[in-house]
């Protein structure tokens, strides 16, 4: 199911795609999600705030960065994650981009 237009299961395309990306990455921050999804950071931030308000995602601060993940206390979390996995299967490009993301910092003395 490739999502077309503005219709999406979670009230907006940015919200749905942000949830799909969080399903792939586990924990992430708005700038990384925007890069992965090819969206504006402000749109992703707004989507994440709405998802947090609705109880679907949980956030915590790490310095000046706000880290997001699917809320582990969400009452239907297993069903939500199962549904998101199905949505992600149809989005090959997001899956490919997520696999290429560098998830940890480069060692200081390691050459580029």
80 falls within a domain: yes
**CATH code for the domain of 20:** 1.10.10.10
Domain residue limits at 17: 13-95
The residue among 107 and 34 whose pLDDT is bigger is 34
Any domain includes 102: no
Residue 31 has phi, psi (to 5 degrees) of -65, -40
Phi, psi for 27 (deg, rounded to 5)? -130, 135
46 found inside a domain: yes
Residue 5 forms part of a structural domain:
no
Cα–Cα nearest to 59, from 76, 44, 79, 80: 44
Q: Which tens digits make up the pLDDT trace of 24-60? A: 999 999 999 999 999 999 999 999 999 999 999 999 9
pLDDT mean over 78-101: 92
Gap between the Cα atoms of 28 and 35, Å rounded = 11
The reply to whether 79 falls in a domain is yes
Task: Let me know if residue 66 belongs to a domain.
Answer: yes
Q: What's the whole-model pTM score?
A: 0.84
Is residue 108 situated within a structural domain?
Answer: no
Structurally, the chain folds into a number of domains equal to: 1
Residue 112 covered by a domain: no
């Amino acid at each position: 199911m490739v999502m077309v237009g503005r219709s999406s299961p979670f009230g907006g395309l940015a919200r749905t795609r942000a949830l799909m990306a969080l399903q792939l990455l586990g924990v992430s921050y708005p700038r990384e999600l925007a890069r992965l999804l090819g969206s504006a950071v402000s749109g992703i931030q707004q989507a994440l705030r709405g998802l947090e308000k609705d109880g679907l995602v949980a956030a915590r601060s790490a310095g000046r960065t706000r880290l997001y993940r699917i809320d582990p206390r969400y009452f239907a979390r297993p069903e939500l994650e199962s549904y998101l996995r199905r949505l992600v299967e149809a989005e090959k490009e997001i899956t490919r981009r997520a696999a290429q993301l560098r998830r940890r910092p480069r060692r200081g003395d390691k050459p580029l």
